[in-house]
Amino acid sequence: MDKIACESFSASCPSRVLFEQIADKWSMMVLAVLDAGPVRFNAIKRHLEGITQKALTDCLRRLERNGLVERRVLPTSPVGVEYEITPLGRTLQPPFKALYGWTIEQMPAVEAAREAFDRRATSRASQPQPVDLEVSAEA
């Protein structure tokens, strides 16, 4: 692995692909649901409001491929499947919990920043916009 390419988030850096896969929309939440122990597919889905069956399936497959989750077929009728975090996946729990804690702790500041941004955007939208003469001359 080329260390310089990886330090600059080069598209050829394998760690960039892994980072994208564990920091995507659902992966951290799926791993949080699995934190307490093995969970069946539909129970995971019930915990994650808004996730589609396809999105959950794709997410679990990525996590399994990366060695973070183990899939077990249960000998039940009908056949069931459960997922569990692997020891490698457990190593992600401390930084994920820290990130989650940060979101809870900083939410008031983030909400204040969003409101300030929205006020500025609304204020700019209500002001006359300068005309770009170069664009106007071409039209």
Give residue-wise pLDDT tens across range 105-114: 999 999 999 9
Say which range, 12-16, 23-27, 87-91, has the weakest mean pLDDT.
12-16
Q: How many CA atoms lie within 13 A of 53 on its CB side?
A: 1
Q: Is residue 1 predicted with pLDDT exceeding 80?
A: no
Reported pTM: 0.76
Q: Give me the residue label for tokens 């996590």.
A: 63
pLDDT in the model for residue 22: 86
Specify the amino acid at residue 22.
I
Mean pLDDT for 15-20 is 85
Cβ proximity of 37 and 84 under 8 Å = yes
pLDDT in the model for residue 106: 97
Q: Give me the residue label for tokens 């093995």.
A: 38
